Structure 1
Amino acid sequence: MTTAVLEKDNKTDAKLGVVDCDIHPALSTPQEILPFLPLRWRDHLKDYGMRSPNPFYAALPYPRMGNGMRQDSYPPDGGPAASNLAFMQEQHLDPLNIEHGLLHALNAGPSLMNLEQGAAVCAAYNDWQIDKWCGPDPRLKGGICIPQEDAGLSLKEIEERKKDPRFVQVAFVPKSIEPAGRRRYWPIWEACEALDLPVGMHSAAYGQRANSASGWASFYVEEHYSFAHVAQTVLVSMIFEGVFERFPKLKLVLVEGGFAWLAPLMWRMDREWEEMRSEVPHVKMRPSDYVRRNVWVTTQPVEEPPNPRHVKNLIDWIGVDRLMFSTDYPHWDFDHPERTFRVGLSEDDMAAIMRGTARSVYGL
C-alpha cells in the first residue's frame, strides 16, 4: 500500500473513529482478582481451587493460548499482554482511533462446576472490568459475565449491572452444557431482550465442551479453525429452537469466528427449513430472515483468499449491516483497522463496518 493511500486512510479513520468489538484485558497476576472476591471464596480458592469441566483449565490446551500474543504487546514494565491500561492506551486505543473498545474478559467463571463459586468469580470479573478498565477509560465497555448454567444466578448478576452504562452486553460462553437454544437459557434471553442488552458469544478455550463435535483436537490449527464451528452450532440451535421467534428483539453477536461461513450456512438452513418446516412450526420465518434481523458477526479473523477482492462477494451476500469490526487485541492474529477490508468497499460500507453498525447495535 502506498504512503499516500495510507495517509488518506488514516485521515478517514481519524475522522470517523473505530469501534473495536473484541479486546481481551488480562490480569497482571492471577492474584489480582482476589480482592474482588468475598473472603469465603478467596479461602475456597486457596483450599480447593476451581473445578472446571474443561480438562485444560489452568493449563490451556496450547501454549499459544497463554503466550501467543503480539510480541510487542507486553507492557514495558512487565506483566502479561493487555494487562496494563496505560500501555493499551499508548499502543492500541490512541494511535488506532479506537472510539469504543468492547472488552471480552475471558475467564472460567461461567463454566465452573460449583455454580455459586462461578457466580462469585463472574461478579469479581465484572467489578475488575470497572475498576481497572472501564472506569478509568470511558472508551472501554464491559460485558457482563454470568454463571450461565444457573439462570437464576445469571439474572441476579444482570440485575446488579443493568443500570451501569459501562456494560453494553451480556457475555455468554458458547460451549454450554446444552445447546444455546434450549429453554434452560430462555430466562437469560428474555432479560437481555427486555434490557436491550446484546448477547456477545465469544469462541474461547473455556466451556463445557470441546470445539469439535467429536472431542479434543490433536493440533492447534484444528482448535483455531473450529472456532467457526462453535458459532455455527449456536446459531443453528437458537434459530430452530425458536429463540428469535419468541424473543424477536434479541440481539446475538458472534465474536471471533470469522464470517465467510455465514452465507452458505444461511442458504443451507433455508433449504432444510423448506423441506422440513413441518417439524418446527414455531419457526415462522426463513432462517436467513432471523439472521438478518437478530444476528451480527465480528470480523476477526478476516478470511484472506488469494484474491482479497473476493471478500467483497462474501460481504455482499451476508450484508454489510451484519458485520462489525474487531481486532482481537492483543492476540497474534490481530487485525489492524488500516489494513483490513481494502477490498473495494464504498466509504459508506467501510464506515458501517468500522463504526456505524456497532454504535447502533450497542447504543454507543
Structure 2
Amino acid sequence: MTKTNFNIPLSGDRSMPIEGFDTSLHLKHAADQAKARGFDRFPIIDVDSHHYETESFSEILEYLEDPVLQQLAKTASASRHGAFGMLPGNIGYQDMGGRVARYPLRQLEKTGPEAHRDITMAKRWMDALSVDIAILFPTPMLNLGLHPQIEIEVALSRAYNRWLTEKILPNDPRLRSMLYLPFNDPQATYEIAKEFAGKPGVLGYMVTATRNRAVHNDAYMKTYAFLEEAGLPLGFHASYNWNDQTMAMMNKFLSVHALGFAISNMVHLTNWVINALPVRFPKLKVIWIESGLAWIPFLMQRLDHEYYMRKSEVPSLTKPPSDYMREMFYTSQPMERPNDIRELEQTFRMINAPTQLMYSSDYPHWDFDVPSVIYDLPFLSEEEKRAILGGNAARVFNIDIKEKLAKSI
C-alpha cells in the first residue's frame, strides 16, 4: 500500500510533514502576533485551557481506589474503545474535518523524557500564545456528569484529581487547575473539596454544567460554605448534550454548539441567583466558563423583568438579579464576533468586563481564542486589556504576578 504524505500548511510556502508535527510550529502565527503586540511585557493568565486526560488514562486508572472498578476500567481501556469504557458517549463532531489537525496529530507529536508529556505539550502552546499561567481542565470528562452510575463519576474524578495533583501540577508552577467536583454526589463533592484544598496548583473547583442536578439543593450548602471560608472560587464549565430532548430537535451540530454551551450555564446561573445563593454566600467567587458572553445581557434582562413583577417569590433578594450577575465572573471564550462592534462593547459594559471578565483560550479546541482577541478591542483602554488578560484572574485566584508586573513598568 502506498503511504499517503499528509502536510500541514504553515506560514508562507513552508509545510510540516505529519511525522514532524509540533505545536510550536503549528502556532507560529500566534507567536508572531504575541511578539508584535509585546505580550511579554505583562502577565497573561488563561482561565480555561484543556488537555486530553484520556491520553494519560492508563496512569489515571492506577489511582482508582476500588480494585474491582480498576480491573473493569483497565479491561475496557485495553479494548479498542480505550477510555470510553468509563466515560459516557456524546453525539457530536467538534472537529472541523480537513481544517484543524491538532486532535489526531497530538498523539504523533514527540516529547522528551525531561517532563511529563502533558507538561511539555502545555508549555509549547503557552509559550506560543505568551500565556504565563494556564488553568487546566479535562476534556472527555466534561460529560462525566451524564454518567448513569454516580459512583463512576465519584471514583474517576477522585482518581483524576489525585493524578493531576501528584503527577502534573507540582512539577510546573505555570500549570494550575480548578479540580473536578463529582456534583451528582453532594457528600463526595464536599469530601473532595476538603481533601484537595491547599494542594499545589489547586486554585479552586469546577462543576461540569452538563448535568441534571440543581445547584440550590440544600445538600450542597456545606460545600459552598467551605469554599467561601477557604477563599476558593467555584467554576461552572459549560458543554453540550445533543441527547437532551430540547437539543435533539436540532439537526445540525452548529445549532447544538451555539445553544448548548449557553443553556447549560443559563439554567444553573438562574437557579443560583433566584434561590439567593449570592445572598447566602456573598464572598464566594463564582465563575461561568466557556459559554461566550452574548447570553449574559439577555439573561440579565429576562430575570430582571420577572423580578420586578414577582418579587414576592424571591424575598431574600435585596436587588435585581442583574446586580448579582455583575458581581460574578466570566471567562471570555468563545467571545462572539458581532457584525457591529458596538454590540460587544455594550455587552462588556453590562457585565462590568474590566473587573469581572477573565481571558481564556480554550486551547487546543478548534474554536480557541488567542490573547489578541481581547487586546485588539478598540473600546478598551490599555489598563482594561491587561486586567482582562491577567490582572483579574490574579486577583480572583490570588496569584502572585509581581515579577511580571515589574517588567511592564
Question: TM-score w.r.t. structure 1 length?
Answer: 0.85
Match of 2:90 in 1: 60
Which amino acid in the other structure matches residue 47 of structure 2? C
For 1:220, the equivalent position in structure 2 comes to 253
In structure 1, what is the equivalent of residue 368 of structure 2?
334
In structure 2, which of residues 176, 184, 190 is the aligned counterpart of residue 155 of structure 1?
190
Aligned pair 1:193/2:193, yes or no? Answer: no
Superposition deviation, residue 23 in structure 1? 0.9
- Retained in 1: the 8 A contact 2:43–2:391? no
Name the amino acid aligned to 1:88. Answer: A
- CA shift, 1:113, in A, is 3.4
- In structure 2, what is the Cα distance between the partners aligned to 1:225 and 1:263? 16
* Letter aligned with residue 251 of structure 2: S
Aligned to 2:348: 315
1:20 match? 46
- Residue type of the alignment partner of 2:90: L
1:117 partnered with 2:144: no
- Does the C-alpha gap of structure 1 residues 165 and 285 become closer, same or farther in structure 2, counting only changes over 3 Å? farther
Q: Which residue of 2 aligns with 1:41?
A: 69
- What RMSD over aligned residues (CA atoms) do the two structures have, in Å? 3.0
- Give secondary structure in 2 for the equivalent of 1:36: coil
Paired letter, 1:95: A
Contact 2:359/2:389 (CA < 8 Å) preserved in 1? yes
For 1:1-364, what aligned pairs fall within 5 Å after superposition? 10-11=37-38, 13-26=39-52, 27-28=54-55, 30-38=57-65, 39-46=67-74, 58-64=88-94, 70-72=100-102, 74-75=105-106, 77-78=108-109, 84-90=118-124, 92-106=125-139, 107=141, 108-205=143-240, 213=246, 215=248, 217-226=250-259, 227-293=261-327, 295-308=328-341, 310-320=343-353, 321-344=355-378, 345-364=380-399
Aligned CA distance change for structure 1 residues 166 and 216 (closer, same or farther; 3 Å): farther
The sequence identity of aligned pairs, in percent, is: 26
Give how far 1:122 is off. Answer: 0.7
Report the CA distance between 1:357 and its aligned residue.
0.8
- Contact kept? 1:228, 1:261, Cα under 8 Å: yes
Q: Which has the higher helix share?
A: 2
Instruction: Classify the secondary structure of the residue corresponding to 1:64.
Output: coil
Matched positions, count:
348
For residue 40 of structure 1, what is the amino acid of its counterpart?
A: V
Inter-partner Cα distance in structure 1 for 2:163 and 2:98: 23
Amino acid in the other structure paired with 2:157: C
Give structure 1 regions of 4+ aligned residues with deviation exceeding 4 angstroms: 5-9, 46-49, 65-70, 108-111, 209-216
* Alignment check: 8 A CA contact 1:297 1:322 kept: yes
Q: Secondary structure at the match of 1:158?
A: helix
The separation in 1 between residues aligned to 2:245 and 2:45, in whole angstroms, is: 31
8 Å CA contact retained: 1:22, 1:326: yes
2:21 paired residue number: none
- C-alpha distance after superposition, 1:259-289 (max 9, x if no partner): 1221232122122111110111122221112
C-alpha distance in 2 between matches for 1:343 and 1:21? 19
The TM-score with structure 2 as length reference comes to 0.76
1:164, distance to aligned residue in structure 2 (A): 1.3
Does the CA-based 8 Å contact 1:111-1:149 persist in structure 2? no
* Mapped partners of 2:99, 2:225: distance in 1: 37
2:50–2:363: 8 Å Cα contact kept in structure 1?
Answer: yes
Output the amino acid matched with 2:337: E
**Alignment deviations for residues 199-231 of structure 1 (CA, whole Å, 9 cap, x no partner):** 11111247xx95674656432112211211112
AA matched with 2:122: M
Instruction: State the match for 2:15 in structure 1.
Output: none
Are the structure 2 counterparts of residues 45 and 69 from structure 1 closer, same or farther at C-alpha, using a change threshold of 3 Å? farther
Going from structure 1 to structure 2, the CA distance change for 1:168 and 1:105 (only over 3 Å counts) comes to same
1:8, distance to aligned residue in structure 2 (A): 7.6
* Contact 1:258-1:302 at 8 Å conserved across structures: yes
Residue 341 of structure 1 deviates from its aligned partner by 4.8
- Deviation of the 1:252 alpha carbon: 1.3
* CA–CA separation in structure 1 for the residues paired with 2:150 and 2:337: 41
Task: Flag the 1:217–1:198 CA change in 2: closer, same or farther, 3 A.
Answer: farther
Larger radius of gyration: 2
User: Match of 2:292, SS?
Assistant: coil
Local SS of the residue matching 2:106: coil
Cα distance between partner residues in 1 of 2:183 and 2:317? 25
Structure 2 SS opposite 1:172: strand
